C-alpha cells in the first residue's frame, strides 16, 4: 500500500497509509502520543519496579519513534534495556529518513535515530552499552516468544482497519511472551479488546488518553 510522510499537530511527522486514510500515529501529535502511552504509562511505570534488565517487545516497530524515545529514556536513567521490535512491513530508507523526530530531542541523540533503522534485522545490535535492539520482520500471528518480556508496546493499526491483529489468538501469543506481572500498554481502549485481555488474565487499567483520545489501556498480567 502507498505510504507518505505527513506532519501531525505537534509538529512531529508520521506515515499515512493513503488507501486507508490511517496514519501510524495520532494526527494530534505523534510524539505526544508516544510520550504518554508508551513512555509515561509504560516504560516509567516499569522503571518503578527496579528491574535490573528490562526486556521490551514492540508490536509494530513502524517509524521507530517508540524505540528511539525508549533509547533516550534508557540513557537518561541509566537503565539496561533489551528491545525487540516486530514489524511485518519495514519502512524503506526514503521513508524513515524523511521523519523529523531528531529535532525534538537532545542533539546528542540525533544520529541514533538513523542508526536504529540502519542496523540489520534478525540480529542483536548494541546501540549503546545499555541498549540492545533486535528487529524482527514477521507478521504478528507468527511471533513465538515465551516468558521473555517485562513490557509490551502494542502499537498495531487500529481495530477498524485490522481487527485480526486485536484478536484473542494474537493476545494469547503475547501473553505467552510476557513474564509474570508483565505490563502491556496500548493507545486503544476498546471494550471488546479489554474484555479479551481480561479473559486471558490481565488486570485492566483505563488511563487518560493522549490528545484526541479519551482513554488508553494499561494491562498487567496477573
Neighbours of 171 (CB within 10 A): 21
Whole-angstrom CA distances from 16 to 1, 22, 25, 69, 95 are 10, 6, 9, 21, 11
State mean pLDDT over 180-202: 97
Q: Average of pLDDT values for 33-57?
A: 97
Instruction: Identify the CATH class of 34-221.
Output: alpha beta
Is pLDDT of 80 > 80? yes
E strand map for 18-172: 22-23, 53-59, 80-87, 124-128, 131-137, 149-154
Set of cell numbers at residue 29: 501529535
Average pLDDT over residues 66-70: 98
pTM above 0.75, yes or no: yes
Residue 110: CB atoms within 10 A of its CB come to 12
Max distance between CA atoms of the chain, in angstroms, equals 45
pLDDT tens per residue across span 135-172: 999 999 999 999 999 999 999 998 988 999 999 999 99
What confidence tens digit (pLDDT) does each residue in 117-134 have? 999 999 999 999 999 999
* DSSP code at position 211: T
Domain ranges of the chain: 34-221
pLDDT at residue 109, rounded to an integer:
95
Amino acid at each position: 500500500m502507498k505510504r507518505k510522510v505527513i506532519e501531525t499537530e505537534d509538529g512531529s511527522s508520521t506515515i499515512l497509509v493513503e488507501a486507508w486514510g490511517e496514519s501510524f500515529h495520532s494526527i494530534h501529535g505523534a510524539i505526544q502520543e508516544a510520550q504518554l502511552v508508551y513512555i509515561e504509562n509504560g516504560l516509567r511505570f516499569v522503571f518503578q519496579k527496579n528491574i535490573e534488565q528490562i526486556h521490551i517487545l514492540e508490536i509494530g516497530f513502524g517509524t521507530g519513534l517508540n524505540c528511539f524515545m525508549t533509547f533516550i529514556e534508557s540513557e537518561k536513567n541509566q537503565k539496561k534495556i533489551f528491545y525487540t521490535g516486530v514489524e511485518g512491513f519495514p519502512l524503506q530508507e526514503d521513508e524513515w529518513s524523511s521523519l523529523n523526530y531528531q529535532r525534538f530531542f537532545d542533539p546528542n541523540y540525533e544520529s541514533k535515530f538513523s542508526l536504529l533503522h540502519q542496523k540489520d534485522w534478525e540480529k542483536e545490535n548494541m546501540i549503546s552499552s545499555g541498549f540492545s535492539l533486535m528487529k524482527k520482520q514477521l507478521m504478528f500471528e507468527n511471533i513465538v516468544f515465551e516468558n521473555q518480556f517485562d513490557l509490551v508496546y502494542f502499537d498495531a493499526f487500529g481495530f477498524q482497519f485490522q481487527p485480526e491483529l486485536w484478536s484473542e489468538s494474537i493476545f494469547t501469543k503475547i501473553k505467552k511472551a510476557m513474564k509474570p506481572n508483565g505490563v502491556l500498554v496500548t493507545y486503544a481502549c476498546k471494550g471488546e479488546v479489554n474484555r479479551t485481555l481480561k479473559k486471558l488474565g490481565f488486570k485492566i487499567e483505563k488511563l487518560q488518553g493522549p490528545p484526541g483520545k479519551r482513554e488508553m489501556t494499561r494491562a498487567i498480567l496477573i
